[in-house]
Chains A and B, each alone.
Chain A
Amino acid sequence: MIELRGLHRFFGETRAVDNVSFEVRRGEVFGFIGPNGAGKTTSMRILATLDLPTAGDAFVDGFSVVNDPDRAQRRLGFMPDYFNTYPNVNVTEYLDFFARAYQLRGDRRRDSIARVMDFTGLDVLANKPINGLSKGMKQRLCLGRSLVHDPSVLILDEPAAGLDPRARIELREMIRALADDGKAILISSHILTELAEICDSVGIIECGRLVAVGSVGQIHQQGQTPQNVVQVRVLEDVDRLVDWLSARDDIDEVQRDNGGLQFLHSGTQEDEAALLAAMIRADIRVVAFAARQRTLEDVFMQVTEGAVQ
């Protein structure tokens, strides 16, 4: 449904998007992760036909956003990272305007608005002026607007920004429901834990380049043995443990962490058990030993370098 093919966007010397390619299938939620200025919004704006790429192309349901923007637009709903609206307009009028703008007529338009209001829970605020809405409700309205013509592709740029925990959970549920409905969803967010819960796959972008793409598990396994995060607390002599760990080949990125240590360990659960046994044999007085799979945050921190351009 969504395909970015060798997408480039340069602003003078700045390479905002540099050869980005990935695909999002029907019913898939794709998380687009990256630090500020990494090129997420630029890529999304190109996909939403709001900007032109310097080179490459993007496709929505097989239609080029460069050469057939009108056809692509009919299939996509875009929720930008800002919400500016018109004065003196209430919720229903706002949705009605966009439904008309998408050429929905008569009962089709009325049904569509009712469906969207029902889905986003805005029906109770139908006649409320938009300027009087809370941030969460505005986000819902923005999502509702992008859904009013029942698009098959959704592009959501930081949809959870500024929302309270309850609103975030509700938004997450809405996004999952939309994906279950068969929509291809491209979503960007800074809240990585949240993305991990709703995304089927992720793309990590830094300085305009896609540094990793695939499911969290796939990224974790890209070009190396599976790694887990291990946290260890010892009674004393942390420095000795650091030296001991540094001498091993299966250990990476040893960091001190609240009186203990955290490191990456390559291997299976049996290897972890063997590691613990080896520590004890080496007279290291282990108080706690916990291993967990790497989170999206861990992956993000590993594959990005915090570089800016």
Chain B
Amino acid sequence: MTATADTAFEGPQPTAESGSVWTRFDSLVERWGERLNPILVKETRQALKSKQFTITFALVLGTGWIWSMMGIAGIGPQVHYVESGAPLFVGYFEILAFALFIIVPFGAFRSIAAEQEDRTYELLSITSLTPRQIVAGKLTSAIAQMMVYMSALAPCLAFTYMLRGVSLPVIATVVFYLFVVSLGLTMLALLFGTLTSHRHWQVLLSVVVVVGLFLVFWGASIVMTEEFRHMDVPIDEYRFWAANGMMMTAFVTTFLLVFFAAVANVTFASDNRSTRLRVVMAIQQVCLIGWIAWFLFVEAPQDREFVLGVFALSAIYWGILGALISGERTELSVRVKRGLPGSFFGRVLFTWFQPGPGTGYIFVTCGMLTALICGLAMLAINLAHFPNDMWRPLPTDVITVFAVLITCYVIAYLGVGSLIMRLLRRVTEVTLFLSGLIHVLLLISGVALPILAESVRQSWRLDEYSLLQMSNPFWTLAYVVDTGALPPESTALVVFIPALTGIVFLVNLPVVLREIRHTRIAAPARVIEEDAELAAIAHPPKHESSSPWDEP
């Protein structure tokens, strides 16, 4: 090692004789730093030298300072008797929100998009960093920036507390949600950054991201300006914690979904990019059912129409995700086949979590059926335990018909979409985007064509629902629920729609069967050999004494 190279590493090198507290602390930090994500280390180093970060940080600090000066000057001597913290707090919120809702997420988007544009991502992708570490590195780097901006304005926020009019729980809640929203936006921006490496698409996505971030900032600013004075944080009420718990469950599961989607986008093509996403989807479904059950049994047992939420939200959720899953590749790579479940029960339970449009279709169908069964079970339990004292409650049979129909619609539309994708695969390469687009077009056709036909038949007048509109899920479901009682067409709907769904499902089964026929294959000898070598290094065999003269 040359002298120059030695000096290139700033920071203390731990030595044997170093004994002072600071030296030990330093070496502890050094050791801890070794474990940090390399991208975080690199981007922090870059940020410390970057003009953009210096200017932004100075702007946030300067604006905060100017706002403080203006606020104090405006309040004047009244500061002793008037609660003047609130308006100042809103100002600081705007400054911080601008940094956290726009600068940090857009910086994260550009960070990963620039890696793809400049092709530095290629060099990164062939290192030992896993795709998860790469996305996590970008994310932690953005979190570090958030922390810096929040620290810069922390004294200002504390100052508003001293001016009265803003309680500590309010400050803590607002700052917490600022962080959470910024984290969510950053994760979404990272997902957008991984979507494409083509420059023209990235330019378009940049515009979408910027507009989206400004809209969020604008919305948050309006809400904060209008609602802050009425904001209450009842930390002693369980509903406050329940509502926050629900929001955080939704946030964490959605965050994980977006995180793993971003990871999947940068994962090597032969790797398994689906299973983790499907696990998160299943967890999210369980959370949704759980929270609605809580509402139905604890929070508002009389509002049993709330169960419609399970069906509606599940339908939207599985409809969107199912449309994307249909675009997955039909072939399983050798690498994925090595990870297929081996046991009988493993195959029965976990095959549906493996990649492929066929397994995905069954996975989505299972998700919808779970929502249907759980929703109806919740309804039955609720009816058995709570009296029906609502004014004009929605009849149970209406809710049941609604539940059955919405489930069938999702399964049928996704089934038809899968068949179209199957045909398309013969002529072109199918992507998730194309799959999503085809499903949207299919839904539009299902809605628009019967309306058009009916309009022509009735000389462009469209007054009443008819069975011709059966393919229109929105009108049909609204029609079933709107009248408050089962409409006359309901029998036909309950017969035809499930029957058609069953046919579509059966037509899709051969594809599914082809996919589930894949069985686990053994790893090549070279892989087994290396695994054994690595295992031997990680867990060296213990020396056992075979005679009293052996060394211990």
Contact = CB atoms under 8 A, between A and B. Distances in A.
Contacts of B378: none
A96 B46 CA distance: 13
Contacts of A74: 128
Given A85-B120, A102-B127, A97 B42 contact: yes
B118 interface: yes
Contacts of B9: 92, 96, 110
B526 A63 contact: yes
Nearest to B122: A50
B270 A101 contact: no
Interface of B: 1-2, 4-9, 31, 34, 38, 41-42, 45-46, 49-50, 118-120, 122-130, 268-271, 333-335, 338, 524, 526-527, 530
A204 to B, nearest CB: 26
A145 interface: yes
Contacts of A78: 123, 126
A86 B42 CA distance: 9
Interface string A39-74: 000000000111010000000001110111111011
Contact of A84 (B31, B118, B126, B130): B118
A302 B527 CA distance: 42
Given A76-B126, A89-B46, A123-B2, 10 more contacts: A63-B530, A66-B334, A67-B270, A70-B128, A98-B127, A105-B34, A110-B1, A114-B1, A123-B5, A149-B127
A71 B31 CA distance: 27
A118 interface: yes
A257 to B, nearest CB: 43
Contacts of A93: 42, 45
A124 interface: yes
A170 B338 CA distance: 45
A126 B268 contact: no
* Most interface-central of B2, B4, B125 (chain A CB within 10 A): B4
A87 B118 CA distance: 11
* Most interface-central of B5, B118, B125, B530 (chain A CB within 10 A): B5
A92 B8 contact: yes
A88 B50 CA distance: 6
A105 B333 CA distance: 33
A50 B125 contact: yes
Contact of B41 (A48, A50, A97, A114): A97
A67 B335 contact: yes
11 contacts: A64-B524, A68-B527, A78-B126, A80-B119, A87-B50, A88-B45, A89-B46, A101-B38, A117-B2, A117-B4, A124-B4
Q: Sorted from nearest, which 5 A-B pairs have the closest CB atoms?
A: A114-B1, A100-B38, A101-B127, A92-B8, A126-B8
Contacts of B6: 114
Contact of B527 (A49, A63, A101, A102): A63
Contacts of B524: 64, 67-68
A255 interface: no
B126 A67 contact: no
Given A67-B334, A118-B2, A80 B122 contact: yes
Contacts of B122: 50, 80
Nearest to A91: B8
B339 to A, nearest CB: 11
Nearest to A111: B1
Contacts of B126: 48-50, 73, 76, 78
B8 A100 contact: no
B5 A113 contact: yes
Nearest to A127: B8
Contacts of A97: 38, 41-42
Contact of A89 (B7, B45, B129, B268): B45
A110 to B, nearest CB: 6
Interface string A259-275: 00000000000000000
A114 B2 contact: yes
Nearest to B1: A114
Contacts of A82: 119
Contact of B34 (A89, A98, A106, A115): A106
A193 interface: no
A110 B2 CA distance: 11
A67 B526 CA distance: 12
A103 interface: yes
A66 B335 CA distance: 8
* Most interface-central of B42, B129, B334 (chain A CB within 10 A): B42
Given A66-B270, A86-B120, A126 B127 contact: no
Given A80-B123, A113-B5, A118-B1, A71 B128 contact: no
Contacts of A66: 270, 333-335
Contacts of A124: 4
Nearest to B48: A88
B2 to A, nearest CB: 4
Nearest to B118: A84
A167 B270 CA distance: 39
A84 B124 CA distance: 12
Nearest to A92: B8
A57 to B, nearest CB: 9
Contacts of A50: 122, 125-126
B47 to A, nearest CB: 8
B268 A69 contact: yes
A61 to B, nearest CB: 8
B270 A52 contact: yes
A170 B1 CA distance: 20
Given A68-B527, A97-B38, A84 B120 contact: yes
A151 to B, nearest CB: 10
A78 B127 CA distance: 10
A126 B124 CA distance: 21
A67 B337 CA distance: 10
B526 A102 contact: no
B234 to A, nearest CB: 47
